[in-house]
Structure 1
């Protein structure tokens, strides 16, 4: 019990500081650059996530599972460590090759702003993405051994460093020039954590180790699931945002993105708790099916009223939230909260069940689910934006995750049956 409370305390510290940092960055960008700046920031974050999602959501998740019970001096630990190093490098190289090959589409809106500094911008984005990816890998190693204090230091430093850059340079530089500096500040934490992990003996040797094929295949399952998330979630979000910019404009897209930013901040708190407390416990119970069922069932029904109350509070305070996190220009977006919050309720409640796909490594089901829901969402947006405008996107969001919740409740019925 004491260990659980200690873990919960460090998890709360990490989530609290990350949330404050995220809210502060959004607030400052809104003040300095308005709705247009929020749109560019969301676009930039989406680009970075295209690079980091497979490493962090695939390689690192697999690494946490396989390193958790291994001694750092063991041969198997070193094999999984080096497999993570090489696979991370491969994923970053492929993602950057994709983005740079279609630079007009992915980077055009930023490169127009920076003019003659385009190559410096591209180099900064590529180098920053690589360092950020390896920093996330180091954080995963800390989580695998439950070294939560240093994990909090790492995540908190990333958030506060990004906030500091926006505070000192916001308004002095264009939004296009500010964003690579923000990335550089966040990835600089890598140089702090590398000696920490070496001192903690979580990195025992930099001597190359021959990695057997089964190790790559084990991690590969998680990579495939994360890749489907990139293609079907991150790229989908990028395409939808680009579609909305084309149909409407940067200003209106920025109003919608402001509501999405609010959504992402409270969803971050929820998913961080799930990722740090709920998912590891599920993984530990994977061989004890009866205990796992009871744990999932109790969690599923426990979080529902908490989510509902929290989102109702957001809805009632929506105008105040927009003023607090952005400025008066964004208050007109309050009408978008209704369907956005309904979709978030469905999404957050369903996460309790959809995590079962990951922990049980149901690769085919996970990929099929990602593809179908992504296509369903794009079709909905395409058909609903014309008659409903911006609200059509939030209606599509609600319908999408309502369908996800219904499917997960039917498919995993035995885990929630009373």
Structure 2
């Protein structure tokens, strides 16, 4: 129990650090660079996420599983470590090649006023920084795998508050393009900080020549495929649904629904971060201990239930205040959309424990099929329910989608959750 409380404390602290620094750095960009700065900073973050999402949501999830046990000097640990490095770099370079190949689309906002030599310098610095950020995320995943949450928080703090300090101390004296590279540079330096932490904790394998068998890459490639399926299905589905709604409602009505979605994303991010730090690494460590894994999953599945109910009820009763806090008076009329949105979030967030189990057990075909079926179900439900229910039909479709997801997950993994 004491260990769980300590882990929960460090998990909460990590989420708090990220939330506070995110709000603060956006505020600083607004003060020193105005709306243009906010827009370009958001675009820069999206650009970086194109590079880091698949490595972090794919390779690093596998790394957490395969490095959760064993000593750093063991051959297996070394093989997975260096395979992870290679795959992370390859994924980052593949994403960068796409960005540079379509530079007119991805980079125009940043390099439009540059000369040709400045464009190449900016691109090289951006590419190098992106690769280091990607590798730092892998090192942080190793800290999670070994349940070194305190050091994970320190690395997160260095990354986020370092970027915030860079914007604060330059106080708008740099151009937008320059400050964005400075922020990326600080985040890149975090790689060396985290590297030193892992060296200190003896979690870095020795630098020896090693042969990595294809089976190792195959193990990690499964997680890359699952990450790709999740990203493609979620992004394409969200884009399609948003476009579908805009075509049938005006931008104001669509904006009301999107405001509720944004509120949902904010508290969902906190929940998934805590689950990712507390639950998934422990599942990974127990993956070959069937009885221990079953007991842990069952306890966790039912333990989160009352907490979820209380938290979502609080949000429901404070929904008007939340809309005023995050937006303004114009958005208060959207509070009626919270009913089914919160119900859908309850089903989705409760099911995350079981979907994590699918990932940790590397049921690739099931996971990909699950993502595709969920996306198609959501699209179908929205198209059917939008006309009779209006804007609320989207949230009804969302609730039904995740009710089905939870029911199927419980059916598939009944042996893990039955008393």
TM category (shorter chain) comes to: 0.7 to 0.9
**Deviation of the 1:310 alpha carbon:** 0.6
Q: Partner of 2:57 in structure 1? A: 57
1:115 to 112, 116, 121: 112
Q: Distance in 2 between the 1:237 and 1:276 partners?
A: 26
Q: Distance in 1 between the 2:147 and 2:13 partners?
A: 15
Most deviating of 141-150 and 173-182: 173-182
Structure 1 portions without partners, runs of 5+: none
**Deviation of the 1:174 alpha carbon:** 9.7
Larger Rg: 2
Residue 415 (structure 2) pairs with residue 414 (structure 1): yes
Q: Distance in 2 between the 1:358 and 1:203 partners?
A: 25
Contact map agreement 2:382 2:393 (CA 8 A) in 1: yes
Q: Deviations for 1:206-263, whole angstroms, at most 9, x for unmatched residues?
A: 4553322222122222222222222222454455556667887887766555433332
Q: Partner of 2:153 in structure 1? A: 152
Q: 1:275 to 1:243 in 2, by over 3 A?
A: same
Kindly report the root-mean-square deviation, in angstroms, between the aligned alpha carbons of the 2 structures: 3.9
Contact map agreement 1:39 1:257 (CA 8 A) in 2: no
Q: Partner of 1:284 in structure 2? A: 285
Give the TM-score normalised by the residue count of structure 1: 0.81
Structure possessing the higher relative contact order (Cα contacts under 8 Å, 6 or more residues apart) = 1
Q: Partner of 1:192 in structure 2? A: 193
Give the TM-score normalised by the residue count of structure 2: 0.81
Q: 1:298 to 1:148 in 2, by over 3 A?
A: closer
Q: 1:134 to 1:284 in 2, by over 3 A?
A: closer
Q: Deviations for 1:322-355, whole angstroms, at most 9, x for unmatched residues?
A: 3334455654544443333222111101112111
Most deviating of 227-236 and 308-317: 227-236
Structure 2 portions without partners, runs of 5+: none
Contact map agreement 1:88 1:134 (CA 8 A) in 2: yes
Q: Partner of 1:315 in structure 2? A: 316
Most deviating of 249-258 and 214-223: 249-258
Q: Deviations for 1:189-220, whole angstroms, at most 9, x for unmatched residues?
A: 22322233334333344455332222212222
**Deviation of the 1:390 alpha carbon:** 5.9
Q: Partner of 2:377 in structure 1? A: 376
Q: 1:96 to 1:336 in 2, by over 3 A?
A: farther
Q: Partner of 1:350 in structure 2? A: 351
Q: Partner of 1:337 in structure 2? A: 338
Most deviating of 340-349 and 71-80: 71-80
Q: Partner of 1:404 in structure 2? A: 405
**Deviation of the 1:28 alpha carbon:** 6.5
Q: Partner of 2:19 in structure 1? A: 19
Q: How does 1:66-215 map to 2 (within 5 A)?
A: 66-102=66-102, 107=106, 111-112=108-109, 115-117=112-114, 119=119, 126-164=127-165, 183-206=184-207, 208-215=209-216
